[in-house]
Amino acid sequence: MSITQTAGGGVTAAQGFIAAGISAGIKANGNADLALLVSTRPAQAAAVFTTNKAVAAPVVVSREHLSRSGGVARAIVVNSGCANACTGADGLAVARDTAAEAARLLDCRVEQVLVASTGVIGVSLPVEKIRSGLAQAAQALGADRGADAARAIMTTDPFPKEAAARIAVGGREAAIGGMAKGSGMIEPMMATMLAFVTTDAAVPPPLLDRALREAVDDTFNAISVDGECSTNDCVMLLANGASGVAIDDASYGAFRDGLTSVCRELALGIVRGGEGATKLVTVVVTGAASSGDARKAAKAIANSPLVKTAIHGGDPNWGRLIAVAGRAGVAFELERASVTIGTAVLFDRGRPHDERASEAAEYLKGTDLTVSVDLGAGGASSTVWTCDLSAEYVRINADYRT
């Protein structure tokens, strides 16, 4: 098995997928705000959705459609600029109308259309703009329009997120590609972040669902910008078999690893583009009593405003890391614990090493950083990714609606 990262292609890197991204007038600034992703043949679909109980209308409708279609999809419609969340029966009607109009234009069953939205919560989504925009998007579809779709799903994102890879299975190649959006309100708890991944491999439903969940757990579920779980979070995966490569139990590992590599690149792009972010921070927790403890402690560190502001300011304040680890609600042994920033060990087995603070401070001037905490309680570990917390994050979110 081999995995080759590719430089471009994104969500249309896989054969048999076409896309478009246009302006439907949902955003007041006139920027692109409607994306349409289509498989030219029926595709097997798998998805994971937010665990937030304030669930948005498009999540409700997409779940219904996956159930009714038996996990078969032809298209995904994504709008930005309006989350269509907490909008009651009217919001559900708009989500269903969106799917119906796309199905009419593409000549497929309505339950084979999935929908997703991102933007401001509690605002009505203008159905007439969606209808006219879909007609425009259907005319603009192309295998070279994946980048347009990636731009159309952005809200506060500073740049579009795309990734693609190729895997070799049995002497043949299959492609996996994807796009994602997310910048703030990022703490995916899959069981506002959206990701859409395609592959031209044929993958049986149980293996497709399993691969998606395993990939998401180690990528999208291992990132955080601000600890906030959106009403609209979802990751959707379509597999149409156009390459002729068929995944089975023997080749499952190759497919899962390729999928994970694409999802990881997209997930790291979300963190790099976090609202107000200036640094990508890898948080490594070792010495945990269990993998669950390791992930819990790593997420606690990644979401700590004190840790994130210290990193933004270049302050090697190891005490903040120890304090978070100690209150994370996991097994922790202070006399065996350690904290490392970059390669500088600042605290080890109950003893501080402040003589190394200047080395750590110099390291923190960089933009790709690693902080490590050993809990001293076992042999399990976990890695998550976050970003620093800056005044720009406050500015963006203080006037998001106004």
Contact between residue 184 and residue 274 where contact means Cβ atoms under 8 Å apart: yes
Q: What residues does 44 pair with on adjacent strands?
A: 72, 239
Residue 231 falls in the annotated catalytic set: no
Q: Which of 87, 156, 192, 199 is catalytic?
A: 192
Contact between residue 332 and residue 325 where contact means Cβ atoms under 8 Å apart: yes
Alpha-carbon distances of 197 from 4, 175, 262, rounded to whole Å: 16, 11, 8
Alpha-carbon distances of 27 from 80, 82, 180, 313, 395, rounded to whole Å: 8, 8, 19, 34, 20
**DSSP helix/strand/coil, 314:** coil
Name residues whose C-beta falls within 8 Å of residue 221's C-beta, 6 or more positions apart in sequence. Answer: 188, 189, 190
End-to-end CA distance of the chain: 51
**DSSP helix/strand/coil, 130:** helix
Name residues whose C-beta falls within 8 Å of residue 261's C-beta, 6 or more positions apart in sequence. Answer: 3, 5, 163, 165
The separation between CA 90 and the C-alpha centre of its own chain, rounded to angstroms, equals 28
Q: Tell me which residues are annotated as active site.
A: 192
